[in-house]
Structure 1
């Protein structure tokens, strides 16, 4: 049975996190104080015991000239003795439906190990963020420039990313947690994270794309075996996106994983024509996610 967490289940979710990830208590104190919320936590319960869980953390994401809500999948874990029973698969699929109810069109995550990339790909996630090679600006140096002025430090931090397209944005509350977590580990150098993305609402994202690129006109058929609402033919034309023009054959067909890469501009210059002409290449960024 899947349910949202409550105050009774929350301590068990934390213990599950500790069992699976083994993070220090001081880090978990920050995370479960600042990021964890019952209403964003799905739990699989077997015989009255929480055995698997995931969290849908809300962030804003710059996309096509606007900021859109996204859900970042965090803390996805199953107790060792309950694995290989399909519980996480069920939780992930349920999370997609919950996101649609909340009008969240896009989900992101960071695989904790290389082997999980193929696992998440089965659910429509695709690589969309490259791991950075260069260090990001130093939080320690940033704080030194703004002694006793955390909000001033945040404003400079925010300037680093706010105007960047296809980038996860952070609030002041996010920043406060980021700084506390970084201090806990001695301000280690940070880089952009390798991450994956999954479309939750294809029509909405295509409409935003159409409004940003009014000169782009094409039709495409989307395949999505998990969210049937996305499996349709869409026509992008004149700054708008419409569904299911039966009288027109789609120009091309894409799976939902390829579509998210196209819309985020992930290595689109390597695509065949006409895809690379329709979808400009960009540099999606995800960083400082309390990883």
Structure 2
């Protein structure tokens, strides 16, 4: 009772004492303490998000207001007014994208999206993202390839697609090669295309792996845990447009499905992988159905 009263008073660090007998009361106390730790982590996360929104969105909002005020204060031509309005719309679109990403992360972390789970082939998602982003990659001097095999999964297709899209966007932005050719060995081959970005979908054991590999500078091991936090932009990415929410959303989507987001070395480059458990039932039935369907010719 004393512990719960302290928690209700605002001290979220309070925990129930656990004895050594291991009886039902000790097990109840352990479960309640685990619940309290989760609540404390969520509250801390909420505070951090609020602080980050106030800090990171203040600059674009101020810039938006100043541009509008500058356009009104000075006598300009129709072309100049149109240019000012176009920049204002562009800035507004960026803010809307940031808020949409935050809402999607909130949906994933709260578990609301669990009600929209369905059976589908993750290979279809990978192909769709490849088709969507291939022109963008080419415009940026990169080549986007896809390599898939049947990978049935029971998940939220919208969130899985958005998470994979974020990984591809990051690879296009930050995965430009740092050398003209790649050394043989250490996971790379002399024939590898340094401008290639590879999207893969496959099933390994009881998990479906959706990965994006680039040949850029990668992310240092010490920064990988920090890179998936909200609004975090590493030093190498500060000159690029973005809000620092791409990896955070991908990580939240993976966690929602009981999986994780893995960031590994590609020697050189980065391999970002969504590892999603294959749930029993629908996904296994879907896999059986797919084995009866003849494969389309390449």
Q: What interval of TM-score do these two structures reach, taking the shorter chain for normalisation?
A: under 0.3
TM-score of the two chains, using structure 2 as the length reference:
0.24
The structure having more radius of gyration, on CA atoms, is 2
TM-score of the two chains, using structure 1 as the length reference:
0.24
Larger strand fraction of residues: 1
